[in-house]
Structure 1
Amino acid sequence: MALDDAATNNPLYADPNDPVLPATGFTLDRGKAALVVVDPQIDFLSPEGVSWPYFGESITENGTVDHLQQLFDAAKAAGITVAISPHYYYPTDHAWTFGGPLEKVMHGIGMFGRKGPLSLDGFENSGADFLPAFKDHILDGETIIASPHKVYGPESNDLALQLRKRGVSQIILAGMAANLCVESHLRELVEQGFEVVVVRDATAGPRLPEGDGYLAALINFRFLAHAIWTTAETVTQLEHTHLAA
């Protein structure tokens, strides 16, 4: 597969020349497919977001925002289901008595904070809100906005139910963050019996002294996903793949 972006051309992220793991033979069926975008929110994807110091370098190198926009455009043009799995924290969530390292960071910096589950007070243009560039597609009355996931994976929200109710069995997965919520969604959705393609340049990961989260995710994507595509490959598939009879 031709890799066409800065991050995918970075030797650190290059796929092996002699892979041992076999191709799965995945074939896209637009009649059964959905684009699932995880956490397309200001706190992740904007320089104004509270997590930008951790994720901004990877987002910029991957062209994540532009690639997500291309995926939204292509999915809507192809007429496939589009679903958002958002991340929100309400005041009661801050009463949790324990959490992992990244959970503690997210709570500490007020990431994805909302006033309450039944209130939109102060929501618009806050860090928990969707990136403005995506709103036309997300708020079009057709896109599924699942209930919020609370840690990393979709086990605590209704994403799988919403997809099943639409007859979806194949997922094109993108969004944030690669080694956290995206990888957790990949693992759970595979366990739930979905075929999952990860769009490698429509995500990004943290770069910290503890390690490169994007590199960690790519390694696991190779082991777990039914396919790994670039945005350009995904758009081509959506444009030229016919509906199955």
Structure 2
Amino acid sequence: MTRLLPSLHSTLSPLVLAAAIGLGGLAKADDGLPHPGFEITAGNTALLVTDPQNDFLHPDGVAWGVVGKNVIENGTVEHIEELFATAQQTGMPVFVSPHYYYPHDHGWKFEGTLEKLMHTIGMFDRKGALDTAEFEGSGADWLARYKPYINDGHTVVTSPHKVFGPETNDLVLQMRKQGIDKVIIAGMSANLCTESHMRELQEQGFEVMVVSDATAAAQLPGLDGYAAAMVNFRMIASDVADTETVTAAMLAAVN
């Protein structure tokens, strides 16, 4: 097992500290906040990936126009795959929390801002809960390069969440039943589903960390979802680190 964040706050310079914890300069010694750290332990630590779907991560996806630039800058697609591959290599349990909308979901009588947008543009649309017609390769489908990992017979794909968080699906139940109490979170979208999952898992008593470059968010004039999420990840999660740091720790935890 290994700690992602050693107790070096008092001995390292701000620049070296930021590099040590993989935050790309986001966290600095002068932000005044503690660094709890996150220890990966075999058996009770899992990887959670939210919404690894075409509508977010493929150039033809309906959300690509607002998230694509950030996805490319962060190397999000490649970093999520690195996490999947390392989890498979190390035997770490993997959970995927998808976002699907069925025809009855379009009958909602009121919506929040981005719920309305997602319904308007047909994001994550499926024909029905038991209907896979036209699903393959659709916006709701997994990004093709992730399918060998998600369809490996071991990954737990939960029921869909409907707004942003896991309160409406069975993620917490599935994790509790497998004895998971530590969660590494990656996926889309940083300030929406990823952050909402982080918040709810914290409330449910899980220890949580976020992989900073294995997520991304919409960036609009005056609205930077990624920057907003990074602030909240830093203030709420036990740790935030980049993919290189996290995969190295995953490998060290089983050696």
TM-score by length of structure 1 reads 0.93
1:92 to 2:104 alignment: yes
Give the number of equivalent residue pairs. Answer: 238
- How many Å separate the matches in 1 of 2:67 and 2:185? 19
Cα distance per residue 1:107-131 (max 9 Å; x no partner):
0100000000111111000000000
1:172-211 to structure 2, matched below 5 A, reads 172-211=184-223
- How many Å separate the matches in 2 of 1:146 and 1:24? 29
Q: Which SS does the other structure have where 1:93 is aligned? A: helix
Look up the match of 1:241. 253
TM-superposed deviation, 1:54: 1.0
Q: Which SS does the other structure have where 1:104 is aligned? A: helix
Unpaired segments ≥5 residues, structure 1: none
- Change in CA separation of 1:3 and 1:79 when aligned onto 2, cut-off 3 Å: same
Identity %: 52
Q: Pick from 25, 30, 36 the counterpart of residue 24 of structure 1.
A: 36
* Partner AA of 2:194 in structure 1: V
1:116 to 2:133 alignment: no
Look up the match of 1:213. 225
Q: Pick from 149, 160, 163 the counterpart of residue 137 of structure 1.
A: 149
* Contact 2:191–2:217 (CA under 8 A) maintained in structure 1: yes
TM-superposed deviation, 1:74: 0.4
Look up the match of 1:101. 113
Look up the match of 2:19. 2
CA RMSD in angstroms comes to: 1.6
1:167 to 2:179 alignment: yes
1:55-74 to structure 2, matched below 5 A, reads 55-74=67-86
- How many Å separate the matches in 2 of 1:164 and 1:70? 25
- How many Å separate the matches in 2 of 1:202 and 1:182? 10
Q: Which SS does the other structure have where 1:35 is aligned? A: strand
Q: Which SS does the other structure have where 1:116 is aligned? A: coil
* Contact 1:3–1:230 (CA under 8 A) maintained in structure 2: no
Q: Pick from 65, 68, 88 the counterpart of residue 53 of structure 1.
A: 65
Look up the match of 1:150. 162
Cα distance per residue 1:119-160 (max 9 Å; x no partner):
111100000000000000001111000000000000000001
TM-superposed deviation, 1:27: 1.5
Cα distance per residue 1:12-64 (max 9 Å; x no partner):
x7333412111114311122111000000000000010000010010000000
